[in-house]
Chains A and B, each alone.
Chain A
Amino acid sequence: MVITDSIATFGKYCLFIKRIFTFPDRWHVFFNRTIAEISKLGIDSIPLVIIISLFIGAVITIQMQLNIMSPLIPSYSVGLATREIILLEFSSSILCLILAGKVGSNIASEIGTMRVTEQIDALEIMGVNSANYLVLPKIVAFILFMPVLVVFCMGTSLIGGYLIALFTDMIPVSKYIYGIQTLFNEWYVWYGLIKSLVFAFIISSVASFFGYYVKGGALEVGKSSTNAVVTSSILILLFDVILTKLLLQ
């Protein structure tokens, strides 16, 4: 029963995606909506990204210092390990898990509320492809802006580590800066960015799907929002494994 339900839901999701990816009725409306969504989903997320990245970058640096403290390991390794963790996993996967909560719930509740208040029916009655009109700008905007958030996250996390080096005596600043530059592999940045694009699509499309097909009232909108976050988080973890295998091996 669970398997057939899952297959049915996946089929419904595929049909939903097909409805989304059609040409917009009015390109200028699509463009304006995309700009508005970049502001709402992307720019409004920057403060959260900065705060989280700064603290997590600092914590990773402290933990690296405490865990690899050995006379046999050079002290610049703290910066190197911090950088690798941030580039490979934190700035893409962990950040997207956090954004799945913020952006995913925002999208699911917004579209879900439009569904239960008949605003989506109103669009359909007018002859507007509601899935395309409402969801495509969100997906495009989030995918376009996600690399910006990831780069912000990478930079701010490294600054978080730098502040630890600057204000504590755990690691000399010069060693930290040397560490974050040593053995730098540019591909790791691209790897993080590529993963984040896939995760951005998962977050925006899955959250839209749960919101779009909500039935009932306020209670169901809340449930759909929770389901959207849980499902997109699981999918992010799943695709993290797949993409890591594909891109890093």
Chain B
Amino acid sequence: MANRLNWLQGKTVRKNTPAGSHSRSSSTPQVHSTSSTIFGGGVKDPSGRITEYSSDDDQCPVCKSDKYLEKKLRLLVSSCYHKMCESCIDRLFTLGPAPCPICNKVLRKLAFTPQTFEDLGVEKEIAIRRRIAKEFNKRLEDFSSLREFNDYLEDVEDITFNLINDVDPVGTEARITAYREANAALTLLNSQREEAYILSLRQAEELERKEKEMRAEELRREEEEERQEKESGKREIIERLERADGADAAKVVQRTKRERAEREASRKGVAPGKGAQALLRARMAAAAATAATKDTPHIPFQDDYYAYDDMFVLQRVYLDPSSEAVRKDREGIMRAGGYQVEEAWERAVRSAVAGLDLLPLDTVPSSYAMDQGGDVIMSSA
């Protein structure tokens, strides 16, 4: 029914719906060409974040057809970094290797790749670097000194630069071949190491994910239990109230609540289960991290504020002409900021008795820090 009414609403209905055996990447669903089967997803990015590059101004340099007339136009890049549309590729290379219509280099149909970057220079550089990285994978451990390692890196960069900018291509290729022959075993070993490293990373990631899931599961379970506990508690209270119809209701409620609290406490005492271990571990790691930068705790006030309390009896009101203006101030302008005359009185009385019994010093202080110029030494303050 819905399908039949689609034409009324102006919707186009695709005739060849996914009944075909095509399996295409979701990023290029509109492409219809035999070559799409060859290139599969095209872009080498399993996460799917990188998409194929295309713009509205695309035009095939061979057949001059453009996006305006040919909506499905898709340009692919040859191994000599020239763009061509899929129909041209089909036309030229179906019958086997043929020269590029632009630079005459012999190309094969399989060697065409989709474009990722707008600038083909970047595309080329990345391809070259990927290739070089596969071959030149020596590590710092493979050298006796840092200097040798740096020289090696310099060489690799030289080769890469030559390849990218087509400087002495024959000589460069010869260098690569020579290197490959000399270091075949080491290259293989290093590539295996790299794979092992990636694998271990992936495993660690997986482990972390599982742990997180477990913690969430545990939390959910605890919440559920708590909810049930609460509900059963309520039911218990109601039941007891029903049974003890004569007794004091408030007392029954209180007793039940107390009992429940005790039960809960005992349950929590033994509870720390498996999931808590992971949490504990994380917390210990955090504690170890902070222990390194631990400082002496700041204690703001340790003195005895009440030391003089036995020496005076504070009155609620004093006869005090000097503070009369503040007390009479009805709008509280003078008391803005929290001034309270009672506090001022207390402070004054306290300072009246503070140190009253201290005897004057008769001894000479021992240390006196002063530098040659007669100025105070800063650190002595």
User: Are A and B co-members of a single complex?
Assistant: no
Residue positions of B touching A, CB distance < 8 A:
none
Residue positions of A touching B, CB distance < 8 A:
none
